Structure 1
Amino acid sequence: MLKTARSRVQTWITAGAGTIAALFVAGLMGAFGALPAHAPPQLPPDTAIDAGRWRVQPVRAYVSHARVHGVVLKPGQKALVLEADMTNRTAQSDKAYFDVFRPDGIDLPDSRPMIALTRDATLTPELDPGMTERMAYVWPLAGDAAVPSTLAFGITAEIFKPRDNLYGTPGWYNPYRLGTVTLPVVDVPATETPGSGS
């Protein structure tokens, strides 16, 4: 009888200790989960940045009030434009560059930009391996949309996996915010907009 009571007490103590340990671990995890996430780093705007499958170097940002690099705006619209030099770091032609840049702190009617080669206004071209091309990211905006004089552009990178866990094939996966580049934004009159010709 005494042995049975003693084993019950030991069981209660063990269960109580386990519960306390579980509560302690859960509390620690909750505390760490509540900590603010680290902000992505500020990247220098005047150097080339390796962003997974792309090497990118932002060149300039401006607001266009007219057709720019072949992108036609609707009446009453203007556009935020980011020009960047981009190099395809892979072994095949690719145009998976739509999500590389995203302006922060501004409301976009459509987060997906129109993208064109600045040299000939070709829209969404495939970029050949190892060749650097200047690309224009064009986000149409309402004509009265407020655009700050400086703007941060987030850069998204991907990770190359020789063998994906799900499909077992090589590719670029797990997009993540690599960092942010801040550029001045110039308001360009319609008569001076770069690439406004046909």
Structure 2
Amino acid sequence: MNIKRLTYRLLRRVFSNRRLIFFLMGRRQHNSADQGERTSFTYIENISDLTLIGVQHDEIYRTVVEELKGGAHTLLFLDRGRIVNFSCLLFGGGYVGEIRRRIVLDKGSVYIYNCFTAEEYRGRGLYGSALRCLQTRFNNRPLYICCLNDNYASLKVIEKSGFERVAEAKYLSVLFFESLTVDGDLELIR
């Protein structure tokens, strides 16, 4: 782990003031064919699947491997063997690192998190295409996603993709003091 990331994690332990917005896929479903859906996404359920496709081993690859080790599934977009976009998925809930809590969802629900697009690929519609791909793949299941309230680009894509706001969590942490308030219908546990 590089020193910059380690310093960031340490500072987040000392002080954190975050607001997250939680979304649920709305009743309105998108027709992927009408959206110019990309077909180059690869769904990965475990590390051996990732090994089979021959992906370039870089920092993004290592992040995906760590998520797979933690039980997540991932949706990847590759360019010449390099992962340039990924989204992680857990079923029935998962850990929300920004507020140090687990989100509890119905057993059949899919929680989408840790969505990432390499900087040089941003603005090309990969994130929206990934969300539509997941909507198609899990059409009969509730899809949840959360986003920091100041990540305007992601918020715009999430809402444009048909997700509707269902809750907001406000988290404050100073040294050993923590405060969490949730507005909306969402169960979070320590």
Fold conserved between structures, TM > 0.5: no
The structure with the largest alpha-carbon Rg is 1
Higher share in helix: 2
Q: TM-score, normalised by structure 1?
A: 0.25
